[in-house]
Each structure stands twice: as structure tokens, then as C-alpha cells.
Amino acid sequence: MQKVHRPRDKWRDVVFGGIVLLIVLADQLTKTWIRTNLALGQSVSDTGFFRIIHVQNTGAAFGLFQDHSFTLTIVDIVGIVVILVLVLLLRSRWSFYDGMLVRTGMGLVMAGTIGNLIDRLRLGHVTDFLDFKVWPVFNVADSSTVIGSIIIACCLIFMTKTARHQE
């Protein structure tokens, strides 16, 4: 039997899309500001433990896979398609993907992926600028991806614990 979409289901789609749109917009605006106002390698706001610095990353997180932009672009596109299929098409089959918290996490991961994909396609590299000096330099899209992944992981852990208690 086909699941009937309630207004709540549409609202969750709007929230998912809104999260993606807002994060991509924030990511692109901050990267544009950095590229416009700071020369490559130039930094501002150096407080000792944090600084804003203009860095170009041709790899993935933590500087892995340097100079593999084409491969990373393909991985990003596949990831975006998988997220869309899970959130929009398979939610009726797997109710886990229909939860608002999971939907939020998926929106954050997708927004981060799109934000960095835009840079790779336009520039051939990703603009990073947030430097806590004990962690590799990152950007809004990276933060979004990490936070979204943590939310999804926590939901999976909670779901597993709940399922064990019901047995």
C-alpha cells in the first residue's frame, strides 16, 4: 500500500531544501568575501588560537587526495544523488530517513557537498579560511558536512539502542 503524503511530509521537504539553500548561500558568500578581501596566504584576526586565512585546497578533508579534483567532483555528484534518493524517494520505504533530525543532518551534509562542489567546478579548488591551528583549515561547507554527519550518526546510534531495548 502506498504511503499518503501528509502536509507534514511536504513541510519536511521545505525544511530540508531551506537548510540546503541557506548553508550553500552562507558558504558561497563567506568564500567570496575571503577571495575578494584576502590574498592567498594572507590572514586576519589572528588571536593566537584562531585566525582567518585564505587557503586553496585541491584535495578533500585534511588535505587528503590533493590534486584529485575530478575524482572528488564525481564523488560529490554521486553523494548528492544518493542523498536525494534517500531523503525524497526512499523515505516511505525506510522511515528512518523521514525523521526531522535525520532530514536536517542530510540537508547539512548535502549543503556542504554542494558548497565545495561549486568551488571545484568554478575554481578547480576549494577555498578554506577558518584556522584553529590545531586542526586543518576548513570552511562553512566542511563544518556543515561534519555537523550533519554527527547528527545522522547519533540518530543511528539512538535508533539501534531503541531497537535493542524493544527486543
The x, y and z cell numbers of residue 29, run together, are 558568500
98 among known catalytic residues = no
Burial 91-113 (b: 16+ CB within 10 A, else e): beeeeebbeeebbbbbbbbbbbb
131 among known catalytic residues = no
Which position among 76, 119, 131, 142 bears the catalytic label? 142
**E strand or H helix that includes residue 44:** strand 43-44
Q: Can you give 99-138 as a three-state secondary structure string? A: CHHHHHHHHHHHHHHHHHHHHHHHHCCEEEEEECCCCCCE
The x, y and z cell numbers of residue 102, run together, are 535525520
Quote the CA–CA distance of 24 and 152 in Å, as a whole number: 19
Which position among 27, 119, 128, 131 bears the catalytic label? 128
User: Which residues participate in catalysis according to the annotation?
Assistant: 128, 142
